[in-house]
Amino acid sequence: MGAGEGGKAGLGQNANENRIFFAVKRAGEVFRAFEQGFGSDQMRRVLRTVGSLGRNAVFTKMILSRPEVGKRIDAIGVAPYIGSEVPAMMRKGEIPKTVDAIFEVCRQDIELFRKELTAQAAMCHGKGVLLVAYECGPHLTPKGDVALGSTGSDEALIGDLCQKASYDPRMTQLVKDYLDMWRGSGGKIALWFISTSPYGKHNMMGMLESIYEDPTKSPKYQAVRDWMRANPKW
């Protein structure tokens, strides 16, 4: 739809540009309608954000080229999940066999994002907008149908390793290093994907699995709490 509408409006030179440019144009129209409906004095409560990709600076650059940016758009939002390479590894038959391997994947992701996000934040700041994370955190997904071609035994192994990694004491430092990377790269507001969610084959993203869980037993919860206390605002 976006590509077709963007093409009709003559926004880009190809389908990809038409799709992206139309999405930005429509976002600007929605934000303008909000302002007209609720009043300009209410806009201080809103961060007008358009989504991009954490590992695609070209995509972000295309968004930033639109005239709406800085006028009706305040921020570019990305979802810099770490650990999400596990399904891709499974598709290639590179099945992590140990908890150490899971942590290594996450560490590699942090370094990849450090380079990408630093570049994107610089581009955003140059246009007078923020780089924010509309979702973030360790994305440990053992579900086999995400990793096409993986077997049930692979899924069970990865599920067990991801759960062990989530409660491994090393997860506390990993999360702190991840959030340090986000701030150090120039990122601003970051929203953890979900605070509380039972772990299972679809995801293990929550800081806690239950509201009744002892938070002192959750490395991710402890890491986020401690980091927020050390970094109240920047």
Q: Are 81 and 97 in contact (CB under 8 A)?
A: no
Encode burial over 132-144: b for 16+ CB neighbours within 10 A, e otherwise: bbbbbbbbbbbbb
Percent of the chain past pLDDT 90, that is, above it, reads: 69
Output the pLDDT for position 144.
47
CA 36, CA 72: separation in Å to the nearest integer?
A: 12
Confidence class of residue 32 from pLDDT cuts 50, 70 and 90?
Answer: very high
- Residue 200 to residues 89, 192, 209, 234, Cα–Cα distance (Å): 19, 18, 10, 35
Q: Are 136 and 193 in contact (CB under 8 A)?
A: yes
9 contacts: CB under 8 Å, gap ≥ 6: 22, 25
Confidence class of residue 126 from pLDDT cuts 50, 70 and 90?
Answer: very high
Percent of the chain past pLDDT 70, that is, above it, reads: 94
Output the pLDDT for position 145.
46
CA 140, CA 215: separation in Å to the nearest integer?
A: 20
- Give the relative orientation of helices 170-184 and 152-167 as an angle to the nearest 10 degrees: 80
222 contacts: CB under 8 Å, gap ≥ 6: 172, 215, 216
What is the pLDDT of the chain when averaged over all its residues? Answer: 89
What are the start-end ranges of the H helices in 75-234? 85-91, 99-126, 152-167, 170-184, 219-230
Mean pLDDT of 69-85: 92
Output the pLDDT for position 146.
45
Give tens-digit pLDDT for 171-206. 999 999 999 999 999 999 999 999 999 998 778 899
Q: Are 222 and 167 in contact (CB under 8 A)?
A: no
pLDDT score of 2 more than 90:
no
pTM: 0.90
- Residue 178 to residues 67, 97, 158, Cα–Cα distance (Å): 33, 23, 22
Q: Which residue has the higher pLDDT, 155 or 168?
A: 168
Confidence class of residue 10 from pLDDT cuts 50, 70 and 90?
Answer: confident
Output the pLDDT for position 3.
63
- Residue 17 to residues 23, 27, 73, Cα–Cα distance (Å): 10, 15, 18
CA 207, CA 219: separation in Å to the nearest integer?
A: 8
